[in-house]
Chain A
Amino acid sequence: MKKDIFEHHLNINRRHFFKKAAMGLGGVALGSLLVPDLFKGSQEATQQLPLGLKHFASKAKRIIMLVQNGAPSQLETFDFKPKLREMFGQDLPDSIRQGQRLTGMTANQKSFPLVGSKFGFKQYGNNGAWVSDLLPNIAKITDDICIVKSMHTDAINHDPALTFLQTGAQVGNRPSMGSWFSYGLGSENKNLPAFCVLLSKGGGNGQGVYSKLWSNGFLDSTHQGVQLSASDEPILYLNNPKGMNRASRRDMLNHLGELNEMGYKEFNDPEIHSKIQQYEMAFRMQTAVPEITDISKEPDHIKKLYGADCMVPGTYAANCLLARKLSESGVRFVQLYHQGWDQHGNLVREIQGQAKDVDQASAALITDLKQRGLLDETLVIWGGEFGRTNYCQGKLTKENYGRDHHPRAFSIFMAGGGVKAGTVYGKTDELGYNIIENPVHIHDLHATIMHLMGLDHEKLTYKYLGRRFRLTDVHGHVVKDILA
C-alpha cells in the first residue's frame, strides 16, 4: 500500500519534472533525459543545450583519469635521456634554458647541474617504447597505450597547474572536466553521481588536493564531483544513523512523502516534488553505492591482478579497482588522485615508493578493462600537472638528487576510448628540456579528450556572467595524430 503511494509519487514527479523543465529552472540533470531527435534541424539548440547529446559519433563513453599529483618526473618514467647521464654535473647550457622563468625555489641556485636518471630504461612492445625500470607492469602494456612525451603547460606551481589540468584555467571557480562531461553528456546511471572522485596518498613529498578541483564552478551543483572512498561510508552522510535500519528508513520516507504531498496540495510548488524525488534517489544510493564500493567480492584473479594493496581501502590500488567498478556501472567520469610525486630532493628513494604504489594497479586497470571488452569505450588517462627539471635541485651526489618543477615538457599516457594504441607521440630535445616535435598543450589535451568523447570543444559552452565559457577557453586543437 505504502509502496503504491510511492510509485504514484514517482509518476507525479516525472510529470512535474517536465513542468519544472518547462519553467527553465534547472536543478535536475536534464542530460540523459532529453530525446536527441527533438533538436534535429535546430542549430541553436545543439549549441545551447548540449544535453546528453554527442556532437558526433565516438567510441569513448566514460573516462577514468589517474592524476599523479605532485608531478612525476618524466625523466625517470618515459622520457629516456642518456645524454643527461653523460653530462652528469655539467651546467644546463644557456642555449637550452633560453632565459626562461624558473620557480622561486631554484631561481637563486648558483648552478644548474644536469642529472640523468639513476634508473634503467628498456624498450618494450611493437614500437619499442622506452619505459623505466621503475614501471615494470606499465612496460608490459605499451602496446595498449599511447605515450605523449610532449605535454606542456602554462603554470609552474602545483596549485595553479593542477587547477589548470582539471578546469582549463589556473584560477579556481571554473567547472572541472568531469563536471563538463556530466553537464554535456549526463549520467548513465540513475543511482550514482556522474562524476566521482577518489583520493589516495603515497609516501613521497605530498601536495594537497582540494575540493575546487572537482567543483562544478558555475554549472549546476548536480555536476559537482562526489568524493567516494572505499571505506565504511563511501559517500559523505550516506549511512543511516546507528539504530536505524533500512526498513525503518523506508518507513520514515513514506511518512515524509505523505507530509510533503500535503505541502504540495497547499502550495502547488513543483519544487516540493523535486524534493521528494531527491529523497528517493538518496535512498537508492544508499544501497547502490556500497554495492559498488564493496570490493571484497571480486574474484581472486582480479585481486591478484591489481595487487595485494587493492584490498586495503584508500590505497591507489583499491581506488583503481573501485574506478573500474564505478566506470563499469556507468559513472561518466572517475577521477583519481595519488599524492606524493613532488620530488624536489631525495628523488631516488621517494620515486621508487611512488612508482611501486601505482605501477601494478594502473596497468591492471587497463588490462582489466580490456579483458571485459570495456577498454574501447573507456578512456584512461595517466599523468601529472607538469614535469620536472633535467637539472638537480639542491645537493647533487652520485646517489641522490632532486628535481624542480618543469612546465615546458612532460609525459603522460592514455589508453582505450579511441586512442591510437601502441604509439609514442612527441619528442623533447636530447636534454629533455624543450619540446622539439609535436607539442601538446593542456588545452590540446582537453580538446582531444572531448573529441574522443564525441564532443566538439568549441561547441560545448555555458553562458555565465555574459560570456560563453568552454573547458578550453579560447584555445585548444584536437591532436588528430593520436586518434585511432
Chain B
Amino acid sequence: MKSLYLLFLLLIVSLFSCKDKGDNYVAIPKKKIPEVVDYNFDVRPILSDKCFNCHGPDANKRFADLRLDTEEGAYSALKESPEKHAIVSGKPKQSEVYLRITTEDTTKVMPPPESNLKLSDYEINVIKKWIKQGAQYQQHWAFMPIAKPTLPEVGKAEWTNNEIDYFILEKVEALDLAPNEKATKEQLLKRVSFDITGLPPTLEMQEKFLNDNSENAYEKVVDELLESKHYGEKMASSWLDVARYADSHGFQDDELRTMWPWRDWVIHAFNENYSYKKFVTWQLAGDLLPDKHMETLLATGFNRNHKITQEGGIVVEEYRIETITDRTNTFGKAFLGLTFECAKCHDHKYDPISQKDYYSTFAFFENTPYKKSSAINAKLRVLAEPPFLSISNQIVKDSLPFVNKKENYKNVDVMVMEELKKKRPTHILDRGAYDAKGDTVTPNLPKSILAFDKQKYPSSRLGLSQWLFSENNPLTSRVYVNRVWQDIFGSGIVKTSGDFGMQGELPSHVGLLNWLSADFIESDWNTKRLVKNIVMSSTYQQSSVVKEEKLAIDPENKYLSYMPRARYTSEMLRDHVLASSGLLSRGIGGRSVKTYQPDGLWKTSSSGRGMLVYYVQDHGEDLYRRGIYTFIKRTSLPPVQMIFDATTRDQCEVRRLSTSTPLQALVLLNDPTVLEASRVFSEKLLEEETSLEYKIEKAFRSILCRNIKPEEKVLFLDYYNKQERQFKEDKESAYDFVNVGEYPQAESDKTKVAALMQIIHTMYNMEEAIVKI
C-alpha cells in the first residue's frame, strides 16, 4: 500500500519531468477501498507500520498501557479514561482510534507529530470502514496453520500446466490481463539451464533440444538438468549466503579457515536430493542424532560459519555471547523468516516474540564449548577453533567421499558443533549486554509460532529441529518454498523473504504459497520435486517480453503476467563466461581458489598479520573454477562478486539485491577474466576450419544461447572486418590485446585472434548476455 503510494508520487514526478516531451503516461487510478476490509491484508499493515511501535507487543515501550495488536487490548476500556474504548465494533465515531487519527488537535492527533509518521487519507478510510464492518481481528497470516487450498476458478484453464498456474492466472485475469505467450525453445532452455545448474546450455544440449519435437521434450531436459552434478552447485550458492559461509574468520586479522569440506557437503546433499528436513536437521543437530556419523557431524559446520574474533583485546564472554547471538539470529531468519534479532535487547516491537522468547531460543545454542586459544596467545593462529573434525584421507575414503581433498594435503580441520555435558545456564541479558545478566531461562520457542512441547521434544538442538519440522509449524515450509521461488523468479511470493512477520510484505499469492508449502511437506520436503514443479508451470514458461499495458497496470510484475528478466548472480556471471568460452573447470568441490584480482587489495586492507596479508593467486585449472569456489576473505571481499551484489557473509542473508551500476560495466569491459575467455574462445574458433560467418554464429550461440539474427550478423561481420583492418595496421595493439590471462596462447594470427576476440567480448557485454531472458 505504501509502495503504491510511493509509486503514485513517482508517477507524478515522471509526468512532470516528461511533460514537455509529450509522453503519454497511463495514470494509475487511486487505490480503491476494498468492499470487505480484511484485517490481515488491509488493516494490519497500517496499524503495524504506524501504531504498533508504541501500542504493540513491546511491553516496555507501550504508551498509555494500550495495545492495538490484540482484540482484547483494543476493545477494553482505556486505562486513563475508562468510559472510552480504543475500538468499538461497528462504531468508528465512538472509537478513540478513529477520533485520534482524524483530529485536528495536534496535542491529541495520532501518530504524534514527533514520531514523523502520518496516516494518509486512504489509510484513515480503511480503518474507518474496518471498524464499521465490525473490526474483526485475525491471526497473522504467516502464523496460521498451513492448509492446502483448493485451486481457484480460472477462465482460461487450457493455459495451465500445473496447480501453480491456477493461482497465477486467477490474479492475472482479475487485472484484466492475459499471460504472455510461451517463450521460444531457445529462451526456455537458457532460462531453465541457468535456474537449475547455474550454467548456460552447451551447444550439444541446444541442438538436441531444438531438434527434439516430442511432446515431453522440455520435461526431458528438465529431468536431465536436475540430474546434473552442477545442480548441487547452483542450489548451494544461495545456501552459502544463508549460512554466511566464508574462507576467513573475519574481524581484525581475518585469518584463514578451512570450512570448505562443509561446503562440499552442501553440494552433495543437494545433488543427492536429501529431503529439506534431513538437510536442515543434520546441520542443526547432526551431532546429537542417535545414529550420528561423520557426515551428520560435518553438516553441523553450518553453525560454525559465523565470524570468529581472534583480536587480542577481546573480552571472551562478550564474544561467546556474540557467537550464540549470531546462531540464534541465523536460526530465526534462515528457517523461520523472522527478525529475531529485534528481540535481543527488548521485546519485539511488531512480532509476538518477547525478549524472554529470544533468550529461550538462544538457550538451545548455549551449550557448545567455547575456547579461545588465540585470545590467550595472539601469536598462536588456528584455522579451526575447537571443536573441530580433522578430515584425513582415510575418513574421506571411508565416510566422506564427496569431500574433494587432494591426497597429498594434510588433514583438513572443519569446525563442527558439540554439546557440553554440563549445561550452561542462560540468562536474559538486559539490553543485550553480555554482562547484564537477568533472569535465567530454559530452552523454549515462541508459542506464537508453535508451542514447544517439552514432553515430546528433547530440550536440545535436536528437539529444536523436531519442532521446526513438526507438521504444525506454520513457517518452515513457507519460508523455504518462498526462497526457492525467489531464486527462480527474482522475487519471492513474499517479497521480504527474510521477514514473514508483521512488518514484512504480504504475499502476492497467499493461496499459492500455502499450496506449495503444503505440497512440499506432503512430498516429504522434496526439493528437486519443488524445483521441477515450478519450472514445469506455464507461468515459468512465459516469454519475458514486456508490454506497455502490463507495465502500466502491474509495474513491478508482481502478478507474473510475464516472466521477469532477472540479471545473473555474480556466480552465474563468472560461470557463464567460463563455460561458454570452454574454459570452465567442471570439477566439484575442493579448497577455495584465488583467481585474478587487482593487485594490492588484501594488503592495503590488512592489519599486516596472519596468513592472508598477501593475495597469492592460484594458477592453471584453479583459475577457471566456478564462482562458488572463489576464496572469500571477509575483510577484503572478491571485488567482482561484490560489484555484482554478492553478500558480505557477515551474517545470514536470504536475498541479494540486483542493481545496475557503471562499475558493473567497467568489470565486463576490463576484467581479465572476461577478456581472457574472449581470447581463448577466439583462438579455439580460429583453429576450426570454418567460415568467419560460422565462427560468429557459433560464438553467438554459445554466449547468447540462441541463433543470431540476420541484422546482428551483419553488424558483427562489419565490426569484425573493421577490427581486423585496424589490428593489421597496428599489429602491436593486436599483440597487446590478446596478451591477457595465463591460459597459453595459440599459434594463430594475432590480428585475427584480436579481431574475433573483440567481437566475442562485445557479445559478453550485451545486456541479453547477462540476464535470464
Task: List residues of chain A with CB under 8 Å of any chain B CB.
Answer: 15, 18-19, 21-28, 34-35, 38-39, 42-45, 47-49, 101, 103-105, 107, 156-159, 171-173, 199, 201, 206-212, 215, 220-222, 226, 233, 235-245, 248-249, 251-252, 255-256, 258-260, 262-263, 266-272, 274-276, 278-279, 281-282, 285, 339, 344, 404-405, 458-459, 461, 465-467
Q: How many residue pairs between the two chains, A and B, have CB atoms under 8 Å in the bound complex?
A: 276
The answer, among B315, B504, B666, B719, for a CB contact under 8 Å with A235, is B666
Could you say which residues of chain A place their CB within 8 Å of the CB of B719? 255
16 A-B residue pairs with CB within 8 Å = A19-B551, A22-B25, A101-B435, A158-B311, A159-B309, A171-B650, A173-B651, A211-B636, A211-B648, A242-B739, A243-B735, A260-B766, A260-B767, A260-B768, A279-B765, A466-B496
Say yes or no: B6 contacts A48, CB within 8 Å: yes
Task: List residues of chain B with CB under 8 Å of any chain A CB.
Answer: 2-3, 5-7, 9-14, 16-18, 21, 23, 25, 116-118, 120, 251-254, 309, 311-316, 339, 342, 349-350, 375, 435, 496, 498-499, 501-504, 544-548, 551, 555-556, 565, 567, 598, 604-608, 634-637, 639, 642-643, 645, 648, 650-651, 657, 659-667, 669-672, 675, 709, 711-712, 715, 719, 722, 726, 732-740, 754, 758, 761-762, 765-768, 771, 773
Could you say which residues of chain A place their CB within 8 Å of the CB of B758? 252
Chain A nearest CB, measured from B465 CB (Å): 25
Q: A215-B648, A220-B657 given. 10 additional CB < 8 A pairs? A: A15-B23, A18-B18, A22-B7, A38-B12, A199-B605, A222-B659, A242-B740, A256-B765, A266-B545, A275-B660
A107 to B7, CA, bound (A): 56
The answer, among A103, A156, A157, A271, for a CB contact under 8 Å with B660, is A271
A251 to B761, CA, bound (A): 13
Could you say which residues of chain A place their CB within 8 Å of the CB of B313? 103-105, 156-158, 404-405
Say yes or no: B598 contacts A236, CB within 8 Å: yes
Could you say which residues of chain A place their CB within 8 Å of the CB of B662? 278-279, 281-282, 285
Could you say which residues of chain B place their CB within 8 Å of the CB of A209? 604-605, 635
Closest to B644 in A: A221
Closest to B603 in A: A201
A270 to B546, CA, bound (A): 9
A103 to B309, CA, bound (A): 14
Say yes or no: B6 contacts A211, CB within 8 Å: no
A344 to B313, CA, bound (A): 10
Instruction: Given A221-B645, A275-B660, check contact A104 B316 (CB 8 Å).
Output: yes
The answer, among A103, A199, A208, A256, for a CB contact under 8 Å with B252, is A208
Say yes or no: B636 contacts A210, CB within 8 Å: yes
Instruction: Given A260-B766, A260-B767, check contact A104 B312 (CB 8 Å).
Output: yes
The answer, among B350, B545, B648, B666, for a CB contact under 8 Å with A173, is B648
Could you say which residues of chain A place their CB within 8 Å of the CB of B14? 18-19, 21-22
Say yes or no: A466 contacts B766, CB within 8 Å: no
A467 to B349, CA, bound (A): 9
Say yes or no: A267 contacts B23, CB within 8 Å: no
Instruction: Given A19-B551, A221-B661, A271-B565, check contact A259 B12 (CB 8 Å).
Output: no
The answer, among B565, B648, B666, B736, for a CB contact under 8 Å with A237, is B666
Instruction: Given A24-B10, A465-B339, check contact A259 B605 (CB 8 Å).
Output: no
A238 to B598, CA, bound (A): 11
Could you say which residues of chain B place their CB within 8 Å of the CB of A236? 598, 639, 643, 663, 666-667
Chain B nearest CB, measured from A100 CB (Å): 11
A365 to B16, CA, bound (A): 42
Chain B nearest CB, measured from A404 CB (Å): 7
A104 to B375, CA, bound (A): 8
Say yes or no: A268 contacts B546, CB within 8 Å: yes
Say yes or no: B634 contacts A241, CB within 8 Å: no
A27 to B659, CA, bound (A): 5
Closest to B767 in A: A275
Could you say which residues of chain B place their CB within 8 Å of the CB of A211? 605, 635-637, 642, 648
Could you say which residues of chain B place their CB within 8 Å of the CB of A215? 648
Could you say which residues of chain B place their CB within 8 Å of the CB of A458? 116
Say yes or no: B648 contacts A22, CB within 8 Å: no
Closest to A156 in B: B313
Chain B nearest CB, measured from A75 CB (Å): 18
A239 to B669, CA, bound (A): 9
Say yes or no: B116 contacts A157, CB within 8 Å: no
A47 to B309, CA, bound (A): 38
Chain A nearest CB, measured from B565 CB (Å): 6
A22 to B252, CA, bound (A): 43
Instruction: Given A172-B651, A466-B503, check contact A18 B13 (CB 8 Å).
Output: yes
A244 to B733, CA, bound (A): 7
Say yes or no: B740 contacts A237, CB within 8 Å: no
Say yes or no: B666 contacts A22, CB within 8 Å: no
Chain A nearest CB, measured from B510 CB (Å): 18
A43 to B9, CA, bound (A): 12
Say yes or no: B666 contacts A23, CB within 8 Å: no
Say yes or no: B663 contacts A104, CB within 8 Å: no
A101 to B726, CA, bound (A): 70
